[in-house]
Structure 1
C-alpha cells in the first residue's frame, strides 16, 4: 500500500466560510454501530491519531447504559486515557441525569444530548415522546450549564424518518428552538437516514433563521445513504454553517434505524473543503492513514472514497 501526496486543486467559491470546524464523531457515532467491540486501548489510540491529524473536536464516547450500546461500555476506562491531549475538545454523549453525573465525575467539559424531531424515533431511541424527552433534557442541560459544561443538542430525523416519511420543517424548527432555548450552545441537524437534498437543507436552515435560531449555533450531520452528504454540506456552507459533523473513514450509522448507513467520511469532507480553499487544520494524509489503521483492526476496508483513492495499491 502506498500513500499519494495528491491534493485537490484549490479553487475557492464566493460566499463560503473561510474555515470550517469539523466535529469528528468516529469514536462515538462510528464505533457504536460496529458489531465487534473495539478494545479500549485501540479506541484511545484512535482518538490520539485523530488529534495528531489536526482534528480539534473529537466526540470520544457515550455514557449510556452498557446494555444499550455495549460497544461503548468502557467509557470510564477510556476517558482517562485521553487526559494527555491538549487543545482538543473531547465531548461525550449523555442520555440523562445519570449520564451527566458520570460525565462530571470524569471531568468532562462538553456534553451532548440526543433528541428527535419525530415521535416514532423518539419512542424507539429514548422510549419517550418528543415532549417527554425535552422534559428529561431540561434539568440535565440546566445542571450542566451550572457546572460550566457546554451542551450540544443532536436533533435526529430532521429530513426524513423511516416510519413517518418526510419530516415537515416546522416540526424540526419547533424542537430545535426548544433545545436552543433550554441552553444548547450548538444544535446538530441530523439527516439520520440520508434522504435530504440540497434544496431541503437550504429551506430548513432558512426557516430556522427566521424562527430566531442563529446559523452560528447550527451544525450539520449528514449520512451518505443516497450519496447526497457532500452536496448537502455544500448547501449548508453556502447558508453560512461553519461546523460539520463527520466520521473518519465513513464509520457509523444508527443502531436504532436500520436504513441509516454510514456517516459522511471525514476524509471526503476534507478533500472537498481543501478544494474550495476552506481551512480545516486537518492533515488529510495522516487522517487517511488513521482510517486505514483502524480498518485493519475492524477487519474490513474503509468505505471512504478518498481513503481508497489515497491509499490504493500500486
Structure 2
C-alpha cells in the first residue's frame, strides 16, 4: 500500500445531487436549515443547488431562493451546478452568493444523449463557453465526467476517452476534474489502475485537482475510496445520508455517505476537518424531513466510541 494522504478535501453534494433525486418536493425552508447545519459541521466545500430548468428538475426550482437565504461560515466555499449558458446567466444574477461552478457531461455517448440530449462533442462546445465566462467572472471551475468507470447502456467506457474529455475540460479552463461513478459500476482494482492514467493524461499538473465521485449502488463505495487514496487521490465528493443517484437509469442509488466517508478517514488517521457528530445531526435532520430511513451506516450506528461509558451496574 502506498503512503496515504494526511488530509483530504471533501465536497458535500447532498443539497444538489441528493435533493434532486427525491420524488417529493423538499420545502425551501428545510433545504436552507439543512445546508446551514452542514456548513456548521466543518465541511469547507458544498454544492448547494443547480440552475437547471424547473420543468426538468422541479426539486431545484428554488435555486435562487436557497442561495439568498443560506447562512454558512465565510470559510465555506459554495458551488452551483451549471447545465448551460442560460443556467450561468441565472446564476450570475447571484454572483456574490457563491464561489465555484461545476459543469458536467458523460463519457458515454448514450448516457449523455439520455441525460442532456446532446453528443459529447456538442456538450464540450457548450461547456467551453460556460467555463470561459465563469472564469471571467472570477469563479473557480470544476468539470465533472459522468460514467467515467462504466455505463449502464454501453458497458465499459474506454479510459482513453475519459482522459481526452478530462484534457478538453482542463484546456477549457477547469481547475478541477471530477470522475463520476454515476451508477456504481466501479471496482477498487479499476480505480487503482485508472486514476494514475488520468493524472498522466492531464500532465501530472498541480494546477488541476483530480476528484473522485463514487456511488454506493453496489456497496463498493468506500472500498473505491481506499483504492483512490492508495494512488494519491485526496479530493472526494459525497452526500450526507447517502442521498442521491442518477435520474437515468432507474436503480442508480445514492452517493457514498459523507458521514461514512468521514468516519472511515478519521479512523485511519486522515484529517477531514469535519465534526462528525455535527454531520450526523444533519443526517438525522434530513431523515426526519424525508420521513424514511437513510442508506448511511454511521447515521444509524453513530461514531465509534473508543471510551464508551460503562454500562449500569
Pick the aligned partner of 2:74 from 86, 105, 121: 86
Structure 1 residue 199 displacement after superposition: 1.3
Structure 1 residue 85 displacement after superposition: 3.5
TM-score, length of structure 2 as denominator length = 0.93
> Does residue 111 of structure 1 match 2:101?
yes
> Could you list the per-position Cα deviations for residues 159-201 of structure 1 after superposition, in whole angstroms to 9, with x for gaps in the alignment?
1111101111111111111111111110110001111111111
> Does residue 308 of structure 1 match 2:300?
yes
Q: What residue ranges of structure 1 are gaps of 5+ in the alignment? A: 1-12
> Could you list the per-position Cα deviations for residues 116-154 of structure 1 after superposition, in whole angstroms to 9, with x for gaps in the alignment?
101001111111000000001111111111111111111
Report the number of matched residues. 300
Pick the aligned partner of 1:236 from 228, 232, 235: 228
Aligned to 2:50: 62
Structure 1 residue 213 displacement after superposition: 4.4
Contact 2:6 2:270 in 1 (8 A): yes
> Could you list the per-position Cα deviations for residues 267-302 of structure 1 after superposition, in whole angstroms to 9, with x for gaps in the alignment?
110111011101111111111111011111101012
Structure 1 residue 83 displacement after superposition: 4.9
Aligned to 1:248: 240
Q: Distance in 2 between matches of 1:98 and 1:207?
A: 34
Judged with a 3 Å threshold, the aligned counterparts in structure 2 of structure 1 residues 194 and 213 are, in CA distance, closer, same or farther, namely: farther
Judged with a 3 Å threshold, the aligned counterparts in structure 2 of structure 1 residues 84 and 207 are, in CA distance, closer, same or farther, namely: closer
* DSSP-derived class of the 2:10 partner: strand
* DSSP-derived class of the 1:151 partner: strand
Q: Which structure exhibits the higher relative contact order, with contacts defined as CA atoms closer than 8 Å and separated by 6 or more residues?
A: 1
Aligned-pair Cα RMSD in Å: 1.5
Q: Distance in 2 between matches of 1:78 and 1:290?
A: 17
> Does residue 172 of structure 1 match 2:162?
yes
TM-score, length of structure 1 as denominator length = 0.92
Pick the aligned partner of 2:267 from 254, 266, 275: 275
Pick the aligned partner of 1:206 from 196, 205, 208: 196
Aligned to 2:41: 53
Pick the aligned partner of 1:158 from 148, 151, 164: 148
Aligned to 1:261: 253
Contact 1:292 1:301 in 2 (8 A): no
* DSSP-derived class of the 2:78 partner: coil
> Does residue 24 of structure 1 match 2:12?
yes
* DSSP-derived class of the 1:61 partner: strand
Aligned to 1:15: 3
Q: What residue ranges of structure 2 are gaps of 5+ in the alignment? A: 304-310
Structure 1 residue 14 displacement after superposition: 6.0
